[in-house]
Structure 1
Amino acid sequence: MYDSPLPSILVSSVFGVMGLAIALAVLLFIIDHVEPIVERLLGGASFTEWLGNLIGRKTRGLRRRRDDDDGDAGLDASAESLLSILPSASLIVDRDGDVVRANPQSYRLGIVRDDSIVNEKVLETVREVFATGGRQRFDLETETPERFVTASDDDTQSGAGVSPGARPGVRRPNWLKVTVGRVDERHVVVLIDDVSETVRFAQIRDSFIINVSEQLLGPTEALGRLADDLEAGGGNVPDRARIEADAREVRTTSNHLNHMVSDLLLLIKAQEPIVPSAANRLNVMDEVRAVKASLAQRIADFGVDVNVEGDDSLVVNGDSGQIRTALTKLVENAIEYSEPGGYVGVSVEADEMRRHAVIRVIDQGKGIAKREQSRIFERFYRGADQSARTADGVGLGLSIVKHVALTHHGTVAVWSAPGQGSTFTLTLPIAR
């Protein structure tokens, strides 16, 4: 006679229920202790709210994909083909304001984030076109989002090894021409033409012409005064003294002009793109030491102590002439803006991810006013507070540094405060 299996089943069921209860108790205990930590990480939102939002987003995403599939069936095939070959950034939006199709550029240009339009002007125009039909065009200026700045030439951030509190030196806005039109009853297309390079080139051209013209006025006026004095005759002592003064001014302005032409040539050179290869691998510390050696006489003349230290293993891809020019400009500025007996430090280290070489030039000078820090990388910009030691500059040095950083796929930034000196940070990708 066989024993009944019922008691064993009951025992197993009891133990199973007890195990499930214990597991739930442990889970609740963990949530109870972890929730305060999660709330701090989520900026005050509770764990249950975050979980609910997460589930909601997943549900909305699935619903959106289902709606997109239904919408695609209604989207004209010729329109799809046309949009796929358009050179400009484009996106298709449905009546709910959700982005059905989006060119990756629309994210970088600050128009779309998380499959939604985030620019109010574009969103408002989309609604108007849905309501009234037709087509609308307008100009728009946007800022590249921070997450794209990290991987592009426009940005300067701590992930690339920039000092905390450093101000960006190479970020640039986007100038766009936007066209919004209806594709069908359920879809609107937004075409985005990025004209940033054209606008930027026009601004640079106009600024260049104005600034070079102003720089040329000094030498030509001094030469004109000298010519007038010579024509009037220089036999008398007072006249001769005036001629000598004019001649000194001609020499000063000529030196200034020579300095400007030399820096302009360096600026042009600094805009030649760098393609990483085995032939252009450079040891960063070797370049820094070479710059210090080349400035030995200037360092002695100004009576400043320049100390160089860092990681000798860091190697970058680059043009030695360009990198040395950029470093020379940074160290020269640090020397000229330091008091006699002052200290200038140059350090070289890798960032936390060992993806970038970070070169910092630190001085104990008078610092840079906050209102000027956003402009110091502009061509020909000169701060208002210049001394006799810095009066000969033409305002191209930091612009050269900026373009060297850009052509080497790096960044440049500055931290400074009046009376506390300045720290310039040049970040370059480590060679792989």
Structure 2
Amino acid sequence: MYDSPVPSLIVSAVFGIIGVAVVLAVVLIIIDHVEPIVERLLGGASFTEWLGNKLGDKVRLFRRRHRADQDEDPDLDASAESLLSILPSASLIVDRQGDVVRANPQAYRLGIVQDDSIVEPAVIKAVRDVREHGGRRRFDLETETPERFVPPLPSGAGIQVDTESNGVRRPNWLKVTVGRVDARFVVVLIDDVSETVRFSQIRDSFIVNVSEQLLSPTEALSRLADELERDDVDPAKVRADAGRVRVASNHLNHMVSDLLLLIKAQEPIVPSAANRLNVMEQLAVVSSQLARTAADEDIQLRLDGDRSLVVNGEADQIRTAVTKLVENAIVYSKRGGYVALSAQKDDSGQYAVIRVLDQGKGIAKSEQRRIFERFYRGKDQTERSADGVGLGLSIVKHVALTHHGTVAVWSAPGQGSTFTLSLPLAQ
């Protein structure tokens, strides 16, 4: 009677697997010991780069799995991990191979890390410098939020959207600190100072533009004073100079008011039961306030929408944003036309979509990408729009941002414009 060969094959296979595992473990140990020597010989290039892209990727993948099997990097001190976990800034840990072994979710949103690898060249260079020469590196960095972290425009808005002119994407201004944890690990601390920088920019714009705008009323006042001091006062010239003083003063008041609104619209809204607002109630207030203005311009103002829509927000900011959109629509519409103000739920059921549609002359494609910039004014201004200061749409953009929403425009010359302000519905 012959013994079955199956048990022998199983035993051979088991011993074969054990043998392969032992060989791989030995290879990994050899690589860890040889790698520093190779990196010094290669002038700082990593060992995996020397092996080549494909083989280097396989080595990195094997190391990650090896770490996972050993409780995710036991060499990283537990106290260091605990400290990093409570830091308010975004942080990440990089190993000797340049792989990210720990990362705060903010590091991904800020565009520093993607697929467990650092993607910012300046950060990569700083990590290498610190690993080779020690010390600490501090520098400023500007990044863009990756597309997947940008809130998508709501579906079902009923308009075409020019993604270049939606005006809601902002850069991230970061302060980065890079230092060594120990011989193997490097830590990268990322402090997001974007809100501080934006506030500073608006404050500086406020000071510069108010200073410039003060020149017109002061010059007009000076001319008026000269006329009044003359022995032969000319009443007609006095009235003309007084009119210029009034126009310049009104323009300055308008600009200061808009700048103050822009500064207020910087703090993000935190949803709560205390700031729930019915959207149609806010639109009704705006419609009522602008009804006389529309009538004076021979414009019919229409209001319609879903009265069940509720959002979290600041009532004054939302009303201001909608008011700016409707005022623009009235100013740029032809007499005898109409402006439509409406609110509806998007197809996903997640956004309240506020639309302002006009029958005006439209906006040239070349200008649409700039209309949400502070103090930008289009080329074709009319007598009715001459008093504007170029802050209205910037205020709308910032109100959308602080309410975690978006703003977009569709327009074509001769076909009017449709502005869409989309705000997340209250949960």
Q: Is TM (by shorter chain) over 0.5?
A: yes
Q: CA deviation at 1:172?
A: 1.3
Give me the CA root mean square deviation: 2.9
1:262 and 1:82 map into 2 onto residues whose CA distance is: 45
Q: What residue in structure 2 maps to residue 157 of structure 1? A: 153
Q: What residue in structure 2 maps to residue 246 of structure 1? A: 241
**Relative to structure 2, which stretch is displaced further, 276-285 or 320-329?**
276-285
Q: CA deviation at 1:159?
A: 5.7
1:318–1:140: structure 2 CA closer, same or farther, 3 Å change rule?
A: closer
Q: CA deviation at 1:349?
A: 1.3
Match of 2:371 among 370, 376, 382: 376
Match of 2:316 among 314, 321, 334: 321
CA contact (8 A) 1:91 1:189 kept: yes
Q: CA deviation at 1:61?
A: 6.1
TM-score when scaled to structure 2? Answer: 0.77
1:409 and 1:173 map into 2 onto residues whose CA distance is: 16
CA contact (8 A) 2:179 2:188 kept: yes
Q: What residue in structure 2 maps to residue 22 of structure 1? A: none
Show the 5 A alignment for 1:292-307. 292-307=287-302
Q: What residue in structure 1 maps to residue 11 of structure 2? A: none
1:208–1:301: structure 2 CA closer, same or farther, 3 Å change rule?
A: same
1:192 and 1:350 map into 2 onto residues whose CA distance is: 38
Q: CA deviation at 1:88?
A: 2.5
**Relative to structure 2, which stretch is displaced further, 370-379 or 111-120?**
370-379
Show the 5 A alignment for 1:170-181. 170-181=168-179
2:213 and 2:424 map into 1 onto residues whose CA distance is: 36
1:64–1:160: structure 2 CA closer, same or farther, 3 Å change rule?
A: farther
Which residue type is aligned with residue 177 of structure 1? K
1:177 and 1:273 map into 2 onto residues whose CA distance is: 21
2:294 and 2:91 map into 1 onto residues whose CA distance is: 55
CA contact (8 A) 2:154 2:351 kept: no
Q: CA deviation at 1:298?
A: 1.6
What is the percentage of aligned positions where both structures have the same residue?
Answer: 71
3-state DSSP of counterpart to 2:186: strand
1:286 and 1:58 map into 2 onto residues whose CA distance is: 60
CA contact (8 A) 1:169 1:412 kept: yes
CA contact (8 A) 1:158 1:164 kept: no
Q: CA deviation at 1:208?
A: 1.0
1:378 and 1:423 map into 2 onto residues whose CA distance is: 18
Q: CA deviation at 1:428?
A: 1.4
Match of 1:400 among 386, 395, 417: 395
Summarize deviations over 1:244-284 as a string: whole Å, max 9, x none.
22111112112223323443454455456645444544332
Q: What residue in structure 2 maps to residue 120 of structure 1? A: 121
Which residue type is aligned with residue 113 of structure 2? V
Summarize deviations over 1:138-164 as a string: whole Å, max 9, x none.
3211001122221xxxxx634695853
Summarize deviations over 1:33-91 as a string: whole Å, max 9, x none.
xxxxxxxxxxxxxxxxxxxxxxxx99976751432547722234454344334332221
Q: CA deviation at 1:122?
A: 1.8
Q: What residue in structure 1 maps to residue 39 of structure 2? A: none
Summarize deviations over 1:230-249 as a string: whole Å, max 9, x none.
112344xxx33322221111
**Relative to structure 2, which stretch is displaced further, 90-99 or 275-284?**
275-284
**Relative to structure 2, which stretch is displaced further, 174-183 or 384-393?**
174-183
Show the 5 A alignment for 1:220-299. 220-235=218-233, 239-268=234-263, 270-271=265-266, 274-299=269-294
Show the 5 A alignment for 1:411-430. 411-430=406-425
3-state DSSP of counterpart to 2:222: helix
Q: What residue in structure 1 maps to residue 191 of structure 2? A: 193
Q: CA deviation at 1:358?
A: 0.3
1:428–1:163: structure 2 CA closer, same or farther, 3 Å change rule?
A: farther
1:294 and 1:160 map into 2 onto residues whose CA distance is: 29
Which residue type is aligned with residue 217 of structure 1? L
Summarize deviations over 1:128-187 as a string: whole Å, max 9, x none.
44444443333211001122221xxxxx63469585324222221111222323333332
Q: What residue in structure 2 maps to residue 169 of structure 1? A: 167
Unpaired runs of 5+ residues, structure 1, are: 1-56, 151-155
3-state DSSP of counterpart to 1:295: helix
1:314–1:115: structure 2 CA closer, same or farther, 3 Å change rule?
A: same
Q: What residue in structure 1 maps to residue 64 of structure 2? A: 64
CA contact (8 A) 2:301 2:339 kept: yes
3-state DSSP of counterpart to 1:394: coil
CA contact (8 A) 1:211 1:380 kept: no
